[in-house]
Structure 1
Amino acid sequence: MKLASALLLSTTMFVGAWGTARADTPNVVVSVKPIHSLVASIMQGVGEPKLIVEGAASAHTYSMKPSNAAALQDADVVFWVGHGLEAFLEKPLQALAEGATIVALEDAPGLTKLKFREGGAFEPDEHADDEDHGAQEHAHAEGYDAHLWLDPANAKAMAAAIEKVLSAKDPANAITYEANLSALNANINSLDKEITDTLAPVKDKPFIVFHDAYQYFEHRYGVRAVGSITVSPETMPGAERLSQIRQKVAKLGASCIFAEPQFEPKLINVVMEGTPAKSGILDPEGATLAAGSNLYIELMRTMATSLRQCLGSGS
């Protein structure tokens, strides 16, 4: 009985201590799904970060919700890419997250940054509204493409910055954060090799995108986007615009045209009609994927698979 009582007391003390550690875990808020996935991976076994841009929403057009404001007010740490991507967050961060540690991962040491492609075959993005246009102006003012996570080396650099901040904020769990970072890096290294092998047979096949967001992925894996076309998800292009697009596709010799999940199949089919190109979907922000620690790996793998399937078909 004494042994049983001692074990019960020991277990109770352990649970109590664990509960206290969990209660002291910082409240972490993250802007977008790919970054949230990296943070969630590093926080595994410690806590769950909150996500602002949920579901299929895009950072380029997002409007804050009351629940997002409440999360920012309670935050101890906020991770975002920075001014180049989530312009909608600038004022809320100033007004609501005064006491939080705010980390712009665009400033993480060791990042590779690529300038925007403009002119020639690459068209500027079309905007749904004035707020979206404002976000693009901010992004262009920064001078570089903010889809940094699409290069796994950048993802690892951001993950290292995330671990450093969390360990400083929550030293009681620093060993766990460090171990989780090592595991994440190993997973990203394996993913990197897998994607390299997946895309090797289609590296020289030209393709066109609806949204020029893939430079980091292209540079890493040697795939070849030859242009972009500006099409609004909400508006069917007119006859003159369709004629221009089809001429461009023919001139560039694109094997595939890649849209994103927000574009209706009917719109994609109308744009594609009369061209020899096939169609595919790329999802650079994980709009169709469930948020969480697995999202980043799944996002990158799915993009590689989509490229291979479309560019490799009929070859």
Structure 2
Amino acid sequence: MSRKLTSLSMIAGLMGGTAFADVPNVAVDIAPVHSLVARVMDGVGEPSLIMPPTVSPHEYNLRPSEAAALQNADIVVWMGEDLTPWLEGAVETLSTDAAVITLLEAEETNLLDFREGALFEAHEHHDDHEEHDDHDDHDDHDDHDDHAEDHDDHEDHEDDHDDHAHDDDHDEHDHEEAHDAHDHGEHDPHAWLSPMNASAWLNLIAAELSAADPENAGAYFANAAAGQAELEALSSEVNALLDPVRGGSFIVFHDAYQYFETDFDLAASGAISIGDASDPSPARIAEIQERVRNEGVGCVLAEAQFNPGLVSAVLDGTDANTGVIDPLGATLDPGTALYPQLIRNMAATLAECL
């Protein structure tokens, strides 16, 4: 049996140009990042996926095969503890000899601050990323919004000092939800939903793989360059798809999409839940309902894993459309095609819903 396996390995090496035994074992936390790593390793090896895309990354119990992938890993690629706090201990315990890429801590990653509260204003991401804004026709609106937002900021500041007890109740609920849902630092961990971040990560991944496997460095960097070209074409495709509905108002189920919004010049009006690990307070739902009814929100987005009754409550008595958006690729097969299809599907859902 041993001689037979050795022969098969030699044949695989001759056919593929590289024996898989010489390729680093790579373990990756979530399916979208796994897809990017698979793109860089395409034709050389295959990374292991730690979490199936059908589960929430915030809370998960490793299966034995997933723990084994971490234990055998030469390289671990994960978002970081802000997204998967439960995974930090497993990486430290099981992957003691592995090189670890923590994407939320990488210099290449463009990070956005968390948005607190149920309702969002467009300036929260547009003003911070004006250099990426290719839509000059929105400038007049931005100037108008600046005055309105200054007024809103002043009112919010007054609310924090007990001018309106009812609003203070909302704030207290939202702060409690924020801590319960994330126990987070200052940055939003859903950074993979920016194709600009994904493009930067391809080179980062290629560099780490090349350091561990110099013989295949050329293949890794060539794959990364090809992946970056694909992401650039994807962004053009998505912008064209969203152009007819850009400026439309929508509500998301939980606040996971501001990286996508920033890359593609969109602006969510609010989130039903601050995170996917806790239910929103009645006060928060009431705030969202008021905005949908009074401000012409055209779309309320659900997520397949979470309570559809909350979305129905928000939609009650309105003319808003609804759609199901998927930030993790729950309905897609893991692999090189998952990431671009994930971004494409999100854009298509928005375009149909708005």
Give, in whole Å, the separation in 2 of the partners of 1:113 and 1:239: 30
Residues 1:199 and 2:242 aligned together: yes
Give, in whole Å, the separation in 2 of the partners of 1:223 and 1:61: 29
Q: 2:104 corresponds to which residue?
A: 106
Q: 1:6 corresponds to which residue?
A: none
Aligned residues: 292
Q: 1:58 corresponds to which residue?
A: 56
Residues 1:227 and 2:270 aligned together: yes
The Cα offsets for residues 257-300 of structure 1, whole Å up to 9 and x where unpaired, read as 11112135455334422122111111112122211110100000
Q: 1:187 corresponds to which residue?
A: 230
- Assess, with a 3 A threshold, how the Cα gap between structure 1 residues 237 and 101 changes in structure 2: closer, same or farther: closer
Shift of 1:53: 1.0
Q: 1:136 corresponds to which residue?
A: 182
Q: 2:146 corresponds to which residue?
A: none
Identical pairs, percent? 45
Which residue of 92, 95, 105 maps to 1:94?
92
Q: 2:25 corresponds to which residue?
A: 27
Root mean square deviation of aligned Cα: 2.8
Which residue of 148, 151, 168 maps to 2:194?
151
Shift of 1:306: 0.4
Which residue of 266, 283, 294 maps to 2:337?
294
Q: List 4+ stretches of structure 1 deviating above 2 A.
A: 12-21, 107-111, 122-127, 230-248, 263-271
Instruction: Report if aligned partners of 2:298, 2:319 keep a CA contact under 8 Å in 1.
Output: yes
Instruction: Report if aligned partners of 1:258, 1:281 keep a CA contact under 8 Å in 2.
Output: yes
Which TM-score applies when normalising by structure 2? 0.75
Q: Secondary structure at the match of 1:222?
A: coil
Q: Gaps spanning 5+ residues in structure 2: where?
A: 1-8, 121-173
Shift of 1:170: 0.7
Shift of 1:251: 3.2
Give, in whole Å, the separation in 2 of the partners of 1:239 and 1:161: 43
Q: 2:44 corresponds to which residue?
A: 46
Q: 2:218 corresponds to which residue?
A: 175
- Assess, with a 3 A threshold, how the Cα gap between structure 1 residues 209 and 13 changes in structure 2: closer, same or farther: closer
- Assess, with a 3 A threshold, how the Cα gap between structure 1 residues 120 and 96 changes in structure 2: closer, same or farther: closer
The AA in structure 2 aligned to 1:136 is H
Which residue of 282, 303, 317 maps to 1:260?
303
The AA in structure 2 aligned to 1:181 is A
Give, in whole Å, the separation in 2 of the partners of 1:29 and 1:191: 26
Shift of 1:243: 5.2
The Cα offsets for residues 104-162 of structure 1, whole Å up to 9 and x where unpaired, read as 012333321110111361556959xxxx94x711xx22x11111121111111111110
Instruction: Report if aligned partners of 1:55, 1:290 keep a CA contact under 8 Å in 2.
Output: no
Instruction: Report if aligned partners of 2:56, 2:276 keep a CA contact under 8 Å in 1.
Output: no
Q: 1:5 corresponds to which residue?
A: none
The AA in structure 2 aligned to 1:42 is V
Q: Secondary structure at the match of 1:258?
A: strand
The Cα offsets for residues 73-121 of structure 1, whole Å up to 9 and x where unpaired, read as 1111100011221111111111111011111012333321110111361
Give, in whole Å, the separation in 1 of the partners of 2:68 and 2:226: 32
- Assess, with a 3 A threshold, how the Cα gap between structure 1 residues 73 and 222 changes in structure 2: closer, same or farther: same
The Cα offsets for residues 174-227 of structure 1, whole Å up to 9 and x where unpaired, read as 111111111101110100100111111111111111111111111111112111
Q: Secondary structure at the match of 1:118?
A: coil
Give, in whole Å, the separation in 2 of the partners of 1:37 and 1:280: 25
Give, in whole Å, the separation in 2 of the partners of 1:217 and 1:231: 17
The AA in structure 1 aligned to 2:72 is D
The Cα offsets for residues 24-43 of structure 1, whole Å up to 9 and x where unpaired, read as 11111000011000000111
Give, in whole Å, the separation in 1 of the partners of 2:82 and 2:276: 22
Give, in whole Å, the separation in 2 of the partners of 1:136 and 1:240: 19
The AA in structure 2 aligned to 1:285 is L
